[in-house]
Amino acid sequence: MADTPEGRVKAAIKLWLRDRGVWFYMPVQTGYGVGGVPDFICCWGGQFMAIEAKAPGKRKNTSEKQKLQIEAIRAADGLVLVVDDVSQLEPMLLEELR
């Protein structure tokens, strides 16, 4: 996974989540499930959180299926972050959790 720019971002996110004791799951997209589900499904302090990882500079490049899932999660009062660098997680979380 870490051999691509996006894979390196995902690897850094995994470390960040583990260091903070965040429960997470990375769903495998096989074509049999729901498309567009974010890369990380998390629970932290009772808060549902999803994280979509992108390659550096590609943060705004979410697919239509991803946009639909992001909107659905937010409509259910879930937190969704789209990041292209692990350093974005903490400031985005602080902003969202205010």
Question: What residue ranges define each of the domains in the chain, with the CATH number in brackets?
Answer: 5-96 (3.40.1350.10)
What does the DSSP 8-state code read for residue 21?
T
- Burial of 1 per CB tally in 10 Å (0-12, 13-18, 19+): exposed
Q: Look up residue 2 and give its amino acid.
A: A
3-state secondary structure of 48: strand
Position 44 scores a pLDDT of 92
Kindly indicate the confidence band of residue 41, based on its pLDDT and cuts at 50, 70 and 90.
very high
Q: How far is CA 59 from CA 15, 42, 76, in A?
A: 20, 19, 23
Is pLDDT at 31 greater than 80 in this prediction?
Answer: no
Q: How many CA atoms lie within 13 A of 7 on its CB side?
A: 4
Q: Once rounded to an integer, what is the mean pLDDT over residues 54-73? A: 96
d(CA 50, CA 53): 10
* Backbone φ, ψ for residue 77 (5° rounding): 65, 25
Position 1 scores a pLDDT of 54
First to last CA, the chain: 33
